[in-house]
Structures are given as C-alpha cells and as structure tokens.
Amino acid sequence: MAKYVSADEALKVVKSNDYIYVQGATATPTHLLDALARRANELSNVRIAHILTMGDEAVAHPELRESFFIDSLFFSKNMKHVLHEHNGSYTPIFLSDIPLLFDRHHIKVDVALLHVSPPDKFGYCSMGISVEAAKAAARNATYVIAQINPLMPCTYGDAMLHIDEVDYLVEYEAPIYTLPCTEPSAVEKQIGKHIAALIEDGSTLQLGIGNIPNATVAEMGHLKNLGVHTELLTEGVVELVEKGVINGSEKKVDKGKIVTSFIMGTRRLYDFVDKNPMVVANEIFYTNEVSIIRQNPKMISINSAIEVDLSGQVCADSIGTSIYSGFGGQVDFVRGAALSEGGKSIIAFSSQTSRGESKIVPFLKQGAGVVTTRAHVQYVATEYGVAELFGKNLHDRAKSLIAIAHPDHQEMLERAFYKIKSEW
C-alpha cells in the first residue's frame, strides 16, 4: 500500500534533465502530466517524449519552455504549437523502432508515466488501450508511475503489467479520451468502394486512422473470414465482428485473434475490447514487425498520404517543411503486406485538398519528407479509381496516377509529365 500516493507525491521523483516517456494516444495520463506541470518552477530541461497524445498537455505550454521540452515521436494537432514556440521538436522514426531506443539503451528512460486499469486479485493491471512503446519504456525506466483508472478497459497480451513493476500508483478516475467517428463524405465513400473491391475473403486487415478506412470497412459486409493485425484498432471492426465477417479463422499468425497495439474510438469500442480474449494488445515492435505481418496471407494495408508525386513517392508526415504527423507504421505495413502471399498495400486519399489543390503532384513540395518510397508502393487509390504501380516503369506509373487524379488537374499533370519524361 505504500506505493499508493497522490500524483503530486509521485512526481517528486522527477529531476532536472530527466527523460520522461508518456503513454500516449487515448490513454494519455493527463492527471500525471498536470501534476508534473505544477513542478515547473523546480525543474529545468526535462525532456518529455511520446507518440501522439490527447487533450491539453499542460507541460507543453510555451511559458514552461525552460522546464520542459516536448519530443514528439509522432506528431499530433495538440502539439503543433511547440514547433512555433520552440519548446519541442519531432523525431522521425518508425513506431516499431521506438522500443529499440530504450531496450538498447540508446536513450536512458528516467521516468515512465502510464495509465492503467485497477489491479486484479493477482496484482496485474492492464495498459488497456495503448501499449505501443510505453511497455518498453516502463521496463527500462528508473521509475514507473501509473495512474490507475477504473474506466480504463482491460486488454490482454503485452498490456498486462504487475504492480511489482510499478514504483508509484496514483488512483484517479476520469473519462478515457475518445475519438468519435464522423460520417464519411461522398468522396471518401467512393474511395472505400474502390478499396473494398481489392479485398478478398480470408484477408487480414491493417486499417489506419480516418474516414477512408471507416468508409472501406462499411463496404466489407459481404466478405467472409477476415482477420485483423493492425497497429491501431478503430471503431469499424466492432460491427464486422458482430456480423461474423471478422473472425480471424484464416490467419496464420495469432489465428482467431484481433492483434493491435493501441485503440482509439468511442466507449462502444472500449467496452468491446474490455476483457475480450479475442483482442490482443501487443507491443509495437511485434505488431509492426514485417516478418510477422507477412506471414498472414492476403494481408491488406490501408494508409493515407498528404501528396504523391508522379513517380510514386509518398509524403505522409509533412506539408512541405511543416511537420504534420509522423512515420508511424506505414512503411512497416506497406512492406509486410507486399511480401504477404496475395497481400496488397494501398495508399488512399482524396484527389484534392480542401483548397482544391491536387494531391497527385509532379514533384513533392520543397522540404516534404518521403515516408514511403516509390519502390515500396503497390496501389494508390482516389475517388477516381485505383492505380497499380508495382512493377511499372516511371512512364507507366505516371500515366496510371494521372488517370486517377482529379479531372481539373489532369492537364497540368500531363504537361508536367511531358517535361519530365525525357529525364526518365
């Protein structure tokens, strides 16, 4: 019982120049971060790392820049201001590589901040809806502080954590962050139809975040024996499980299981995963390991892009030099699906931005980062169809991409291609 303390008491272990890893996504332990922020005037140069987080992260407020520096390993909207205010930065890294930073002691973790379910009678808590790299940070940290929340769902797999592995336990009940679904637009629904047409019975799915994956799921009701192996689990799978469409019966790895690393949705999804033996929440280096992904036949990877150039290069983490998100697991699943027997990796996006600019472009914007190379890409989908790029030369892939661009921009792309092709 000596481990049970207040958040303010627990956060006293943090010292100036410490490195803190924070469990992220919808499991962000805001109560602990608020307590840390209250110590700002006692601390300097504390580095705080995480993947995307939710809510107003008090330690990221610009006026605390002398105390805290935010190191985003996957950027989220609530962190956008830290780049402009010079109290944070972005580290380009595959999500699957983040645990290696800790396990190989490339970075020393001083404190890990977690958000867990109450311990069971054997003393095991669950990290619930976000395992990602937080488990690796916890096993390497000098101090582990866990916020215990009775509203945190209990998931199995790598999510389980014994209280003996935790130094301080902070009881605090608060609603879990949610990510409500929004109704896909007509464009997104059309993209979903194009993607669903590529998916066969017995496929295993990796679905990214956003309306396009949701729209695709809505078109899968006629399919049979689908499986799920994904870094992120979202709302759409619940209905397909209830309909019997998803059962994992044809998976070769984790047969019959839904494998994920973090979960983002509404309370309906959280109630579905709570103590559900079908759902396994694993560390990100397992879910995103190419050698594991490829073992499931007909692996389908669906990811998004900010822009794609005529050679097939995919920018997904920045708009020019402006950081937008991160590498995430796109490349892991693109490659894993491509190597899977009968697998398909699909990059999907609407053909235009909200400003009417083409997302298929002659050249990526100056400063834009290439997340997925042109050699990785298999399929690109917009509302105007699907371009298969695998095995195509630069001339043929440019023509295929122009064919699925918005009609208003096809002439511009044709003219650009005419100038470029002499170099190709």
Any idea which residues carry the catalytic annotation? 231
Pairwise CA distance, residues 216 & 236, whole Å: 9
Give the closest residue to 160 by CA, choosing from 130, 136, 125, 132.
125
Question: Number of C-alpha atoms within 13 angstroms, CB side, residue 178?
Answer: 13
* Pairing, β 88-90 against β 68-72: parallel
